[in-house]
């Protein structure tokens, strides 16, 4: 139903009010230990105004890791030394991340470092590694929240540039 009143907006819960479409986020999974840490950050008193949700927090972790020149080496080192020692059937939680950060992980997943003769790691393992690295660098999560703000500002800037006027 259309309305002539500009202050009301029909919202069908599949399109975020921000103007970003549901295809702007990609589903991933997180291993429980890292999920629990991010959940604590989500509920933290520091996560206010705005309150960032899982796509923002996961994407911030990916951005922070990929801000380093040796991001791939850091991720594969973590995977090969730490994550590989966990039980492979460890439960995971389904979450989402923003497409821009997913692209970093997709490129890494398709890279020669993730091909024969090396072990093949999946998206959930790469995502989990980014969160684990961030937790190891700063257990308070302050850097993750700051990066989430920067990512949000970047998305808003790109949205403004690409929207028809």
If you search the block for the tokens 């029909």, which residue do you land on?
A: 10
DSSP conformational letter for 11: -
- DSSP string of 130-160? HHHHHHHH-TT-HHHHHHHHHHHHHHHHHHH
Q: What is the pLDDT of residue 61?
A: 98
Q: What is the pLDDT of residue 157?
A: 79
Q: What is the pLDDT of residue 36?
A: 98
pLDDT along the chain (165 residues), means of 10: 32 41 85 98 95 97 98 97 94 96 97 95 97 98 97 83 60
First vs last C-alpha separation in the chain = 24
If you search the block for the tokens 């991933």, which residue do you land on?
A: 28
Buried (b) or exposed (e) across 116-142, using 16+ Cβ within 10 A? eeeeebebbbbbbbbbbbbbeeeeebe
pTM as predicted: 0.83
Domain ranges of the chain: 24-162
């Amino acid at each position: 139903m259309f309305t002539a009143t500009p202050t009301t907006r029909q919202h069908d819960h599949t399109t975020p009010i921000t103007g970003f479409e549901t295809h702007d986020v990609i589903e991933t999974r997180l291993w429980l230990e890292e999920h629990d840490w991010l959940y604590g950050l989500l509920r933290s008193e520091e996560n206010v105004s705005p309150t960032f949700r899982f796509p923002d927090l996961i994407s911030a972790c990916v951005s922070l890791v990929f801000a380093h020149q040796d991001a791939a080496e850091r991720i594969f080192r973590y995977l090969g030394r730490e994550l590989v020692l966990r039980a492979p059937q460890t439960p995971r939680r389904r979450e989402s991340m923003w497409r821009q950060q997913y692209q970093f992980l997709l490129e890494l997943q398709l890279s020669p470092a993730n091909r024969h003769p090396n072990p093949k790691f999946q998206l959930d393992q790469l995502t989990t590694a980014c969160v684990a690295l961030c937790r190891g660098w700063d257990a308070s999560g302050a850097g993750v929240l700051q990066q989430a703000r920067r990512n949000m500002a970047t998305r808003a800037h790109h949205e403004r540039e690409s929207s028809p006027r």
